[in-house]
Amino acid sequence: MLDRIALNFAQLPQSHYTEAILALPNTEETSGEVDKDYIELKAVLSKILDAMQPGGRVSIGRANEQIAKEAILAGFLVETDNQQVPLDAVVMYVND
Q: What are the tens digits of pLDDT across the range 69-86?
A: 888 888 888 776 666 555
The reported pLDDT for the residue numbered 53 is 87
Q: What are the tens digits of pLDDT across the range 61-70?
A: 666 677 778 8
Residues 20 and 56: beta-carbon distance below 8 Å: yes
The reported pLDDT for the residue numbered 9 is 92
As a whole number of angstroms, the distance between CA 91 and CA 96 comes to: 15
Q: What are the tens digits of pLDDT across the range 12-43?
A: 999 999 888 877 665 555 556 666 767 777 88
Torsion angle of C-alpha atoms 2, 71, 56, 12, degrees rounded to 10: -30
As a whole number of angstroms, the distance between CA 75 and CA 82 comes to: 20
What pTM was estimated for this model as a whole? 0.71
pLDDT at 10 over 50: yes
